[in-house]
Structure 1
Amino acid sequence: MKELKYLNVLYISNNFTQNIAIEYLNINAKEFFLVHDLQNAVNVLNTEKIDIIFSEYNNIEYFKEIRKENPKLQIIIATDLIESSNLIEAIKIELLMFIQTPVEKEELISSLRTCIQTYDANKSNIINLEKDYIYDYYNQVLLRNKKIVLLSKKENDFFKYMTSKANNTVSYNEIDKSIWNGSMTQDALRSVVKELRKKTYKDLIKNISGIGYRFNLI
């Protein structure tokens, strides 16, 4: 990943078991710092310019404090258990992504790419929608009034892809290739759109007749 070579990464390990992540980051980051506890991580943050934290510690309160001093810092937490309460808190912290352990190389690279794109664009991963809906693009969580709105896998895939193309019309053909891998039927697409409108609000998803759909986020 070309962009990673310009960024400094701090890895906070509690048992050094995620060897794939350690090896990949050590080779590809501009500077790679490895510590084994949260206090040493603070010491590094106080003395070095860190762009991305990769942590095996799932300590939300700790990262709330880190965020106060580091508003642009990208945080990736590797954990075997991702609780709903943590997903809700992650929205408040922003720029915080959870990935499941054991960490696979493909997922690691995908997560890093998403973080770097957000970092380069100087934007948030949190999308504020109308009617008190909030979407966390990193963790693919839709929230309303501090409660998670449950989406099926296909609904979530569609929602994430369309938010990445916000306010632009996405053709049926592009939706088919990107979400259904070429196997989409019009009935399947309409079903997903219908359910999402029920779970959110009708004006969010606009049908462009004969062309495709658009997510209206403005």
Structure 2
Amino acid sequence: MRILLLEDELILKESIEEFLTSKKYIVDGFENSDDAFDAIFSTEYDLLLLDVNVPGEWNGFSLRKELAREGKSIPTIFVTSMSSADAMLQGYANGCCDYIKKPFDLIELLLRVQHALKSNCFKTKENFIELPQGYSYNVTTYELSCQSKRIPLSKREGELLNLFLIHRNQVVSFEMLYEQIWENNVDSANARVQVNNLRRKLPKNMIKNIYGLGYRLDCR
């Protein structure tokens, strides 16, 4: 498997290259988005690891968008210090399979690389994340729709959906919900009601209750 790495922090770039090479991957590292762009059109890659804030004509997000315009559909993981929910959703809207926040453990990176190489990514179009059964979500306007019919979301429902999308196919614990959505200022019954309100606006069983742990948004 051949991986392109775009990372302008030299020490981190070398660490990732050395580690993934030790795991039998072929890694081509670049510090500039222009050089990475040229390489993608001269070499077949199985996966892209893209930092976001890098030198060159494009940042990681705009590079991925430009590749999509050129018909290059390559699984992509963004590797960045940008940690806001908006940034993560922008990454998914630009066609990434995953988004890993710095600092991170190299073992975590390996697991995400392995998962991205064997799983399906989100289907995306411009600012929309396409969900199963004809549903889509606009990460710019925070609007849910089904077959062009808009489904109104409350502010809280939008915040919940953002969180579930960022951690799609993973369990979002009750503790994570209480802390990130309500800053621990909510009782469990009220939180459950608001999650159930969102679940009713999505296809049945898309958000599953994982008994005793939390919830999981399934987008497989």
| Residues 1-218 of structure 1 mapped to structure 2, 5 A cutoff | 7-18=1-12, 19-58=14-53, 59=59, 60-118=61-119, 124=123, 126-128=129-131, 133-134=136-137, 143-145=142-144, 149-151=158-160, 156=164, 160-161=168-169, 194-201=193-200, 204-205=203-204
**What amino acid sits opposite 1:97 in the alignment?**
D
* Alpha-carbon offset, residue 9 of structure 1: 0.4
Partner of 1:168: none
Partner of 1:139: none
Q: Identify if the C-alpha distance between structure 1 residues 47 and 133 changes in structure 2 by more than 3 Å, giving closer, same or farther.
A: closer
Match of 1:204, SS state, is coil
* Alpha-carbon offset, residue 106 of structure 1: 3.1
- 2:66 and 2:72 map into 1 onto residues whose CA distance is 11
**Runs of 5+ unmatched residues, structure 2:** 54-58, 146-154, 175-186, 206-210
- 1:35 and 1:82 map into 2 onto residues whose CA distance is 23
Identity, % of aligned positions:
13
- 2:173 and 2:217 map into 1 onto residues whose CA distance is 15
Q: Identify if the C-alpha distance between structure 1 residues 135 and 30 changes in structure 2 by more than 3 Å, giving closer, same or farther.
A: farther
* Alpha-carbon offset, residue 196 of structure 1: 2.1
Are the counterparts in 2 of residues 128 and 135 from structure 1 also a CA contact under 8 Å? Answer: no
Are the counterparts in 1 of residues 17 and 27 from structure 2 also a CA contact under 8 Å? Answer: no
- The alignment's C-alpha RMSD in Å is 4.3
